[in-house]
Structure 1
Amino acid sequence: MKNQFLGIDHVQVAAPAHHEVEARQFYAETLGLKEITKPDRLARNGGVWFEIGHQQLHVGVQKDFIPSQKAHPALLVENISDIRRHLESKGVEIVYGDELEGADRFYISDPFGNRIEIIEWL
């Protein structure tokens, strides 16, 4: 079989039910991601979707929700210093991890406690 994998279409993080307002406030207003419409058949399940370049970030509802504190999406950015200052001005806690050669990066948490990496390759 020839390898047919082309890339990542989307990544999903979980959230508790009925917290779409908080998801929109964080991902759209704080991070500046563009919300996209969920297909009708999936919209009734709750959650909200966002566009990131050619990929998507889905915030899905999970029964018995537990935040992901290790597994995480890494959002590739430009001008990470400006993004860091913007997030700090919004009261978002910045957490620094191990250095990664050739990259500037830090972690934040969404309103549900999920870990999100912000990374710029230098």
Structure 2
Amino acid sequence: MTTPHPTETTTDLGFGLHHVLIPLPPGGEDACRAFYVDVLGFVEVPKPPALAARGGLWVRADDLELHLGVEEGFVPQRKAHPGILVREIDVLAERIIAAGHELVWDENLPGYRRFHLFDNNGNRLEFLSPSGE
């Protein structure tokens, strides 16, 4: 079961982000665990029984929850991606490289240091951290 994420809002509706779904191919759960749990350090959280039967997995780290959902006819998301904030971007980059993954730094977003990479199923991810500029 998931827990609410506290957020500050500026609207009268109280928007917040509960999770982001990233697609994976049927049978791609182990590749997801190898990347999101073993490399990035997320923790797998139990899915409700009615949803667990669909496959996939849910992972969480700090205030971020990702739902990795099985998609028939899966096509990796090479453009669409979540932009994930991280406090220790250099530490994360070193961890990813040490695990054998490639990443590409991109300095084109003023005020942020960021890089892009692809997970074990070919989905694009962006990690960014305020640069203090």
Which TM class, normalised by the smaller chain length? over 0.9
2:26 and 2:12 map into 1 onto residues whose CA distance is 37
SS of the aligned residue for 2:96 comes to helix
- SS of residue matched to 2:106: coil
Give the aligned residue type for 1:90.
Answer: A
Q: Deviations over 1:14-35 (max 9, x none)?
A: 0001111111111000110111
Q: 1:98: how far off?
A: 5.1
Q: Which residue identity lines up with residue 83 of structure 1 in the other structure?
A: L
Q: How far did residue 97 of structure 1 move?
A: 3.3
Asked if the contact 2:81–2:123 (Cα under 8 Å) also holds between the matched residues in 1, the reply is yes
Partner of 1:29: 38
- Within-5 A mapping of 1:54-73: 54-73=63-82
Report the CA distance between 1:96 and its aligned residue: 2.8
* Superposition TM-score, scaled by structure 1 size: 0.92
The alignment partner of 2:105 has SS state of coil
Work out the CA distance in 1 between the residues paired with 2:61 and 2:108. Answer: 24
Q: Which amino acid aligns with 1:48?
A: L
Percent identity of equivalent pairs = 36
Equivalent residues of 2:106, 2:113 under 8 A apart: no
1:6 Cα deviation from its structure 2 partner: 2.2
- Separation in 1, partners of 2:96, 2:117: 9
Task: Tell me the TM-score normalised to structure 2 length.
Answer: 0.85
Structure 2 Cα separation of the partners of residues 76 and 39 of structure 1: 27
1:106 to partner: Cα distance: 0.2
Gaps of 5+ in 1: none
1:38 aligned onto 2:47? yes
